Chain A
């Protein structure tokens, strides 16, 4: 999630491999459907599109580039690595994902 500390710099949006981040007020898309914005005031992450970068990177890329540390895990939505990886595969059906490793999951340490 993105907290209300967000300063709308937009650094996070292009980093998301799942296109789960949208500017405040922008509609979001999933499976061909358009949905109303989750936030009108600042950037937001669509939970159903976020995999915490599992399947892609060793850590969450949005958090890595956020200069004000406002991209944080949602304490009200704690998901397992398995759930997140399944989501990644569904979001990218044309892609073959190798087995998870420390390079592609923050749940695993090198």
Chain B
């Protein structure tokens, strides 16, 4: 995946700018017609789910995250520079937290667990180079 929007979307997600992450990835998704379109949609739904969780819409969060997880589960452990296995693990923990929040057993706070999209080592180096060349 060479489109800068992909890496920028991931970066925004990891900065907990979930709405912006979804917007950037959606912009790419609308144009994308190759086999990874479903993968991109998974990332968008995960971003949307985290946005809803952050806003206290736990029902919407669970539904979106579940849809994102289902799509993401179709991909190998490492895909397009992302450690999918770790992300799925984190999302599973996050869904448990959100479920507790929905039941009133926990509250979302700045210290709450948020998943991060971890890059594989090779792509961490590549994306750092890529961002270094494109930052204004």
Contacts and interface: CB of A to CB of B under 8 A. Distances in A.
Contact of A9 (B23, B52, B57, B60): B23
Interface of B: 19, 22-23, 25-26, 29-30, 41, 44-45, 48, 51-52, 57, 59-60, 63-64, 67
Which secondary structure characterizes the binding site on chain B? helix
Contacts of B44: 67-68
15 contacts: A3-B63, A4-B59, A4-B60, A5-B48, A5-B63, A11-B30, A65-B30, A67-B22, A67-B26, A67-B44, A68-B22, A68-B44, A68-B64, A68-B67, A69-B67
Contacts of B41: 67
Contacts, number: 39
A7 interface: yes
Interface range for A: 10 to 19
Contact of A68 (B30, B48, B57, B59): B48
Interface string A19-32: 00000000000000
